[in-house]
Amino acid sequence: MLPKGITIETLSDINFHEEIAETADTFEGNALIKAHYLYDRFHKPCFADDSGLEVDELRGAPGVYSARYSGEKASDMENNNKLLCAVKEIPNPHAQFRCVIAYIDKEGAEHIFEGIVRGSITHSPKGDKGFGYDPLFVPDVYPDKTFAELSLEEKNQISHRAQAVKRFVDYIKSLKA
């Protein structure tokens, strides 16, 4: 998703393979925890993200617990099945994917970039691309396809992560102008 001229060092590049506990109750909080942890350890500008699915009729669940909705070691299928059970009586569950990127600059200042894609939850999985809740999420801009039925190019044009990355990249570019 990054344009030419912008390169990043990955966690593998800096030989970092630890898990950072996500203990906040918001996506912003978890992204900041991870970004600060890395900034404090490596003393370099860094960014981290957190994202997940929020279903309106479930008061935002699974939310920050999206990856572990059915438990700490839950599979995508287990999480999807739990979500399907939770929405089975709701005719057209409204939902959104949300992504928050936290960037800590070289002075240690925090910057937050968010992306949201609105849609709904289908009552049966469709498609074999993507991961997580992709087979259940129908974005408003493609009302006949789940995220798991979209090509990577289509998804990268509209996804919550693509929107947050675009805002982050625009910010980085503005620093170079």
User: Which residues are known catalytic residues?
Assistant: 50
- Give which of 118, 123, 152, 153 is closest to 135, Cα–Cα: 123
Looking at the DSSP bridge assignments, the partners of residue 103 are 47, 111
Name 40's Cβ contacts closer than 8 Å, sequence gap at least 6: none
Which segments within 19-93 are labelled E, that is strand? 46-55
Query: Identity (one letter) of the amino acid at 22?
Result: E
